[in-house]
Amino acid sequence: MKTKHLCTLGLLFFVTSYLLFSKVLPDFQNPIDFAHWFNLIGACLLLSFNHVFPKNRLNPVASVITALGVVAHVGLCTIDFIMWSYGDNEAAKAALSEHLSNTPSILFPFVIVGPSLLFVGLAVHAANFIKTYTVSALMVIVGAPLVGVSFFVLKNGILMLLSCLIFSFGLILLLHRKERAAVSIV
């Protein structure tokens, strides 16, 4: 399987997880937490973007940020799997949430800051194309923070999903930029 295919598959898993998170799809999360499994698999596959974009001065920085974001997504999904396993036990969920809130060494890298690094890293990769593929690059750069703002600040699942779609579509356009250019010349 080509690296571009892994990137596309990662985006498919990632967007599907956001469809589930936003409650657009019916809730069929039992006996498996599909939303977080799709998010986990998608995030891991998005690491492939580190290998498809041009190697330049910005690439190593973007690659490290993206990799740190993937690691943080793994941690966040692990926490969410534990939270999901409590089912309807709201007291246990509240106790875990309080414990996490009181443990900055887990809260910041795996809940608050860390997962955002995946979006930041991919947006930094997209910044390489701001002059040549302006619209696609801006879709990624603007979509990345909108995912977080719509979820954490506005608490709006539909806006979160739309932001993720803009972000992902921008990445797809950048991923297939050469094929588009070759078609337009012919």
Q: Give the model confidence (pLDDT) of 25-76 as tens digits.
A: 777 767 788 889 999 999 999 999 999 988 888 899 999 999 999 999 999 9
Q: For 23-156, where are the alpha helices, taking DSSP H only?
A: 34-46, 58-85, 90-101, 104-107, 116-127, 134-148
Q: Hey, how many other C-beta atoms are within 10 angstroms of the C-beta on 162? A: 17
pLDDT attached to residue 23: 82
List the Cα angle 101/103/109 in 5-degree steps. Answer: 90
Boundaries of domain holding 171? 3-185
pLDDT of residue 29: 65
pLDDT over 80 (residue 131): yes
Based on the structure, what is the number of domains in the chain?
1
Q: φ, ψ for residue 28 (rounded to 5)?
A: -130, 45
- 3-state helix, strand and coil shares in percent for the chain, rounded to the nearest 5: 80, 0, 20
Q: What value does the mean pLDDT of the chain take? A: 89
pTM of the model: 0.87
